[in-house]
Structure 1
Amino acid sequence: MKLFKSAHVYAPQYLGQKDVLIAGDKIIAVEDNINLIASSFVEVIQTDGLILTPGFVDSLVHITGGGGEGGYTTRTPEMHINEAIKGGVTTVIGVLGTDAQTRSLENLLAKAYALEEQGISVYCYTGSYHYPMVTVTQSMKHDIMLIEKFIGVGEVAIADHRSSQLTAHEMARLTSEARVAGMLAGKAGIVSVHLGDENSRLDLLHDVIAQFDIPITQYYPTHINRSRALFEAGIEFTTKGGYIDFTTSTTAQIIEQGEIPAAQALALALKQGVPVHQITMSSDGNASLPVFDHLGKLIDLQVGQVCSLHQAMVDAVKQFDVSIEDALTSITLSPASILQLKTKGCIAAGLDADINLLNAHTLAIEAVYSKGERVYCDGVSQLKIPF
């Protein structure tokens, strides 16, 4: 058992100064004062002056790497677990991207199981950018229903020169399959949607919603901060009840070409009245960050960073006057709720003991606990892993 004493608890809503007790991998009490005598089975952790938050939920990470748009040498590396925990990320959703030929779902699952063994929680999407979908079993439905790790499909590319140029009927069919499989398996069955630079933006999703009996909440579009025009289209999408996700990994060159930094996009969306439960941020960690010229030729490529999620949260608070509660919600409770990860994203009795301790002034990460175990402290990984 571990007892966190006198922490300023953001659950992510602010609860005040509380004691938090965990046993094994679960939170068992959040109270004003918990009195337990320190012993061999109770570790008392003094957290006076620290902020205690849920572990961050990163809803889009290329855990087996991504890229390749510039040839084989531009394939990005796999995510190392230390890249997640140093950024306070205790839950990740693994995806394939452009390359579903040399990067497989089988490898994605193997990496997910490895990261679980090392100490964090991992879920995955079946499929990839392209349609028809790659799967492990005979169909997308079977993948979601029979493989525990798969909670949805994605990231399916639209409005992008690298996409399969889906029709509304094709998108409706794959969405219905994911939705029904999710219903039968008690999962979200969400469709993660990659948005590119094309002017069609979210038109395909609007067409599907208009023509077919599919809830708008079945879609989880990402990269909505890619441009001002796409951002405005995303705001309109939320007025109909849809979710939007902002990407935190970026480069100066991408911002110069019109991308809105995720922290700023979060602030702008909140000011326009979008409820925070409809907004998330994700890192797109270990993806390639390609820059194309007007002819579609690759001119630059860098690698997404999982730790950018924490930095965007800090920037939202420090630079753009977003409340700590809203900034935290966008990377904890909102993604957990959208993905139906019922034991994640909140500090409450009965939920998973994924906990971050932050400096109250700088919001820097002081310590990270995943599944009740300390995995990161004072800038050093606490994990004993082979590589």
Structure 2
Amino acid sequence: MATNQPQGSPAPLTLIENARVFTPVPGEHSALLLAGGQIVWMGRDPGDIRLPCPVERLDAAGRWLIPGLVDPLAHIIGGGGEGGFGFRTPELYADEAIRAGVTTLVAALGTDSITRNLPQLLGKVRELQAAGLSAYMYTGSYHLPAKTLSGSVEQDLMLLPDIIGVGEIAISDHRSSMPSHQALAETVAQARVGGLLAGKQGVALFHLGDGREGLTPLRRLVEQTDLPRRQLYPTHCNRSRPLLQEAIAWGRDGGYIDFTASTLPQLLDDGELDAAEALALCLRQGVAPDRISFSSDANASLPRFDAEGRLLGLEAGRIDSIWQQAVLAMTREGLSPEQVLPVVTRNPADILGLGRKGRLAVGQDADLLLVDPDTLNITATFAMGRRLWHRPDPD
């Protein structure tokens, strides 16, 4: 599948030296050469390079060099509305993603698919592409039958390169359309066929609420149809400890698990786990590391409801939460970089079928971050070979 290309003149040749490279696992390289939006050379001794044109040289001074973050769920035109029009959340701006280290993201509608719609979402996706990011989207929304741009899920996937799946379909949630097993099976099958015909993964992203069925609708799809488990991508699996235990069993059976990085103290008090703790628990209980991802749920509403479904309060998700939770996993939870970095880079790229994303290797898209090894702060963001942002040096 073709990768989104940022607009403007070609990125210059850039040589990054003296870095500690994570590919996302620790590698033997310390230098990368970027050209034409790709990584064209990796090694240890840049003196081996002979080029007939000038090269911009950047001394990483021992900083970590890691792949750009891949966010499988962001509500880039905002979400919310569960408390009325005064509770609508704002749009995401490109510089917010860039400063947060997110170089690839996938956008979705949420509860409101009436005043926020797919044409608006597609326009915003292309706005982010024009800013230099790799942006994609899901067709559909919380509710079934799926709303589409072309008239069907299959056509959206086949005809629009920006669309890579369907979702976020709400299940086990009082805000869902209470879809039947048949409706879910038909929608996932449509995404799978459209994906096959377009050379895409065609995943179905599922919003998991705190309803009594939990992951049962997805288990039923696996048990009662021929749909592959890899087409099913449940998110918000850290919403509660009981749901996490279901997700751990699902992951041990080979399913994918996505943890929402955005959370609030009030939600943690109500039983939600943050993504860092959920990751540590999954790894300790035997879930394969390549089954797990983090998403930001950026600019979505984070509502709190009482036992009767009345809204108690609402705030918005943040795109910088992905790296914040990755840092917590390495510091507070004691996980190694090689355990954590794939969860926010390679894993979501592989799950979504974005083969040129999420890893550092010759021929891959040149999406990468520089990270201060002492503070774990992101100090520079490159997307498609362009340095889009860097943290100013202190005076």
TM-score, normalised to structure 2, is 0.94
Gaps of 5+ in 2: 1-12
2:65 pairs with 1:52: yes
Q: 1:220 aligns with which of 223, 233, 241?
A: 233
Corresponding residue of 1:150: 163
Corresponding residue of 1:385: none
Q: 1:233 aligns with which of 246, 251, 255?
A: 246
Q: Deviations along 1:344-387, whole A, 9 cap, x unmatched?
A: 0000000101010001122110111111111111169xxxxxxx
Instruction: Decide whether the 8 Å contact of 1:270 with 1:276 is kept in 2.
Output: yes
Matches within 5 A, 1:201-350: 201-350=214-363
Gaps of 5+ in 1: 381-387
How far apart are 1:156 and its partner, in Å? 0.2
- SS state at 1:79 partner: coil
Cα distance in 2 for residues equivalent to 1:41 and 1:149: 35
How far apart are 1:41 and its partner, in Å? 2.7
Instruction: Decide whether the 8 Å contact of 2:29 with 2:42 is kept in 1.
Output: no
Question: Match of 2:20, as an amino acid?
Answer: H
Corresponding residue of 2:209: 196
Q: 2:98 aligns with which of 66, 77, 85?
A: 85
Cα distance in 1 for residues equivalent to 2:225 and 2:51: 60
Cα distance in 2 for residues equivalent to 1:69 and 1:9: 44
Corresponding residue of 1:6: 18
Q: 2:372 aligns with which of 325, 344, 359?
A: 359
Q: Deviations along 1:226-269, whole A, 9 cap, x unmatched?
A: 00000000011112210000000010000000000101101111
Corresponding residue of 2:172: 159
C-alpha spacing 1:355/1:139, structure 2 compared with 1 (3 Å): same
How far apart are 1:109 and its partner, in Å? 0.5
Corresponding residue of 2:184: 171
Q: 1:26 aligns with which of 38, 42, 58?
A: 38
Question: Match of 1:148, as an amino acid?
Answer: P
Q: 2:384 aligns with which of 371, 375, 383?
A: 371
Q: Deviations along 1:26-68, whole A, 9 cap, x unmatched?
A: 1001112122579973011011210000000000000110000
Corresponding residue of 2:28: 16
- SS state at 1:348 partner: coil
Corresponding residue of 2:199: 186
Instruction: Decide whether the 8 Å contact of 1:86 with 1:379 is kept in 2.
Output: no
Instruction: Decide whether the 8 Å contact of 2:132 with 2:383 is kept in 1.
Output: yes
- SS state at 1:15 partner: coil
Q: 2:154 aligns with which of 117, 134, 141?
A: 141
Corresponding residue of 1:94: 107
C-alpha spacing 1:11/1:163, structure 2 compared with 1 (3 Å): same
How far apart are 1:21 and its partner, in Å? 0.5
Cα distance in 1 for residues equivalent to 2:224 and 2:53: 62
C-alpha spacing 1:378/1:119, structure 2 compared with 1 (3 Å): same
Corresponding residue of 1:118: 131
Question: Match of 1:161, as an amino acid?
Answer: H
Cα distance in 2 for residues equivalent to 1:300 and 1:82: 28
Aligned sequence identity (%): 44
- SS state at 2:82 partner: coil
- SS state at 1:206 partner: helix
Question: Match of 2:257, as an amino acid?
Answer: I
Cα distance in 2 for residues equivalent to 1:38 and 1:350: 18
Instruction: Decide whether the 8 Å contact of 2:68 with 2:367 is kept in 1.
Output: yes
- SS state at 1:366 partner: strand
Cα root mean square deviation, aligned:
1.3
- SS state at 1:230 partner: helix
Question: Match of 2:272, as an amino acid?
Answer: E
TM-score, normalised to structure 1, is 0.96
How far apart are 1:16 and its partner, in Å? 3.3
Q: Deviations along 1:188-239, whole A, 9 cap, x unmatched?
A: 1000000001111000111111111111111000000000000000011112
Question: Match of 1:223, as an amino acid?
Answer: H
Corresponding residue of 2:9: none
Question: Match of 1:308, as an amino acid?
Answer: S
Corresponding residue of 2:8: none
Instruction: Decide whether the 8 Å contact of 1:178 with 1:191 is kept in 2.
Output: yes
The worse-fitting range, judged by mean Cα deviation, of 151-160 and 83-92 is 83-92
Question: Match of 2:263, as an amino acid?
Answer: T
Cα distance in 1 for residues equivalent to 2:238 and 2:156: 31
Question: Match of 2:299, as an amino acid?
Answer: N
Q: How many residues align?
A: 380
Q: Deviations along 1:46-92, whole A, 9 cap, x unmatched?
A: 11210000000000000110000010111111101111111100001
2:56 pairs with 1:43: yes
Instruction: Decide whether the 8 Å contact of 1:155 with 1:193 is kept in 2.
Output: yes
Q: Deviations along 1:253-306, whole A, 9 cap, x unmatched?
A: 000000001011011111111111100000000000000011101111001000
